Structure 1
Amino acid sequence: MRIVLVGPPGAGKGTQAAFLAKNLSIPHISTGDLFRANISQGTELGKQAKAYMDAGNLVPDEVTIGMAKDRMEQPDAERGFLLDGFPRNVAQAEALDAMLEAEGMQLDAVLDLEVPEDEVVKRIAGRRICRNDSAHVFHVTYSKPKTEGVCDICGGELYQREDDSEETVRKRLEVYHTQTEPIIDHYKGQGLVVTISALGKVSDVTERAMEALRGERAA
């Protein structure tokens, strides 16, 4: 299957992408991984991306599209892929459509993870990170430490990252609504969008998504 995964920040896209890709035996292709791989390998596209990033500028669509195209042409993606973070806007979606059409392929589904905005803010703004080890993550509602402000694992101080503040989260949501959400309408016109609720346990959301995708595959 060839799937695009979309949803607002805090919807759990990365977590669901990993589970879904494993269940479907297809590679999980994330924008973050593409950038890291190209930059670390010193590819021409990686060098271009790094130059823009070092200058504090956004990486142009054509560079991101080029990285995605190279990755989708790898042997492990012949049977399909799950795209996470790409396309990020309508221009990238149109470029993806053209790439697939040129290869005689098409998307099977665009999986839209739906989460109320207030829940997104609650999920992200409630995160607390250990100063000693950023892998130690807690939440003021969903995963409380035994002692407020103290990491259960190492005793380090827990803090809220600047990126996780409510103000920053709402700004990220504005960007999502302006730039990324329009791709849902783009793909609705092609009859590809499958919307599921991303509320509840991770395993429940995964099963919900698999059921929806099985329905698409059967259709």
Structure 2
Amino acid sequence: MINLILLGLPGAGKGTASERIVDEFHLAHISTGDMFREAIANETPVGLEAKSYIDNGNLVPDEVTAKLVEERLQQKDTEKGFILDGFPRTTVQAELLEDITKRLDKRLTNVISIDVSEDVLIKRLSARYMCKACGATYNKISNPTKVEGKCDRCGGSEFYQRDDDKPEVVKNRLEVNKKMNTPLKDFYDKKGILSSVNGEQTPDKVFEEIYDILKK
């Protein structure tokens, strides 16, 4: 059984890697965003509790998020293993998760960090641009339009860059995430379950490294 967390800064390729891991190892993909939406839509007690904070413009407390995670980890599709996406983000949440996985006898088997240098991440993230007409998203490095200057989806020729994709904003976002990511890596390194892969390779190579770690 594989119970896994992927760590990495924005733009490191966690989303791409997650999809391939789920397909290859048939794990339940548990995203905190999806979890919140489902619990609120289904009006579960924890969902309603989370909604009361969100409706008032407040952050959902760690304990409430942890209750949601515990609810989700008890569902049948996690019996073959799971990959957690978006939780934990802090060492406090990591400690809460440890308590949950002990109680449910579903302890983490692996934590994998996809490591990419800040310079490369800034290039990747600030290469994103969007079509003004239909909102299709492209990336100058990894996903340009098939015909230069022409949107694949609607044929539009006007593009723009969102404010949060501009290099100076990206740099700030990475700093904020690094402050959360580094203590988590230390936390799991001390537990002896952290592995690192080089995220500056092609997605295929990154997945090969992850595959080898998980197969062990």
TM-score (normalised: structure 2): 0.90
Displacement of 1:78 in angstroms is 1.5
8 Å contact 1:90–1:180 — kept in the other structure?
no
Report 1:1-150 matches (<5 A).
1-134=2-135, 136-145=136-145, 146-148=147-149, 150=150
Deviations 1:118-161 (A, max 9, x none): 11111111101223434x3211233333233x413212332212
Letter in 1 for 2:119: D
1:28 alignment partner, SS class: strand
Q: 1:38 to 1:131 in 2, by over 3 A?
A: farther
1:147 alignment partner, SS class: coil
Displacement of 1:112 in angstroms is 0.5
8 Å contact 1:6–1:85 — kept in the other structure?
no
1:138 alignment partner, SS class: strand
Distance in 1, Cα, partners of 2:173 & 2:51: 22
Q: 1:163 to 1:46 in 2, by over 3 A?
A: farther
1:104 alignment partner, SS class: coil
Displacement of 1:53 in angstroms is 3.0
8 Å contact 2:6–2:84 — kept in the other structure?
yes
Distance in 2, Cα, partners of 1:57 & 1:171: 23
Matching residue of 1:205: 206
Distance in 1, Cα, partners of 2:79 & 2:182: 28
Matching residue of 1:171: 172
1:59 alignment partner, SS class: coil
- Structure 1: stretches of 5+ with no match in the other structure: none
8 Å contact 2:88–2:97 — kept in the other structure?
yes
Distance in 2, Cα, partners of 1:56 & 1:171: 23
Q: 1:43 to 1:163 in 2, by over 3 A?
A: farther
Letter in 2 for 1:192: I
Distance in 2, Cα, partners of 1:132 & 1:47: 37
Distance in 2, Cα, partners of 1:46 & 1:168: 33
Structure 1 vs Structure 2 CA RMSD: 1.8
Distance in 2, Cα, partners of 1:36 & 1:167: 32
Matching residue of 2:154: 154
8 Å contact 2:3–2:106 — kept in the other structure?
no
Displacement of 1:104 in angstroms is 3.2
Distance in 1, Cα, partners of 2:7 & 2:85: 7
Count residues in correspondence.
Answer: 213
8 Å contact 1:8–1:173 — kept in the other structure?
yes
- Structure 2: stretches of 5+ with no match in the other structure: none
8 Å contact 2:66–2:93 — kept in the other structure?
yes
Q: 1:52 to 1:166 in 2, by over 3 A?
A: farther
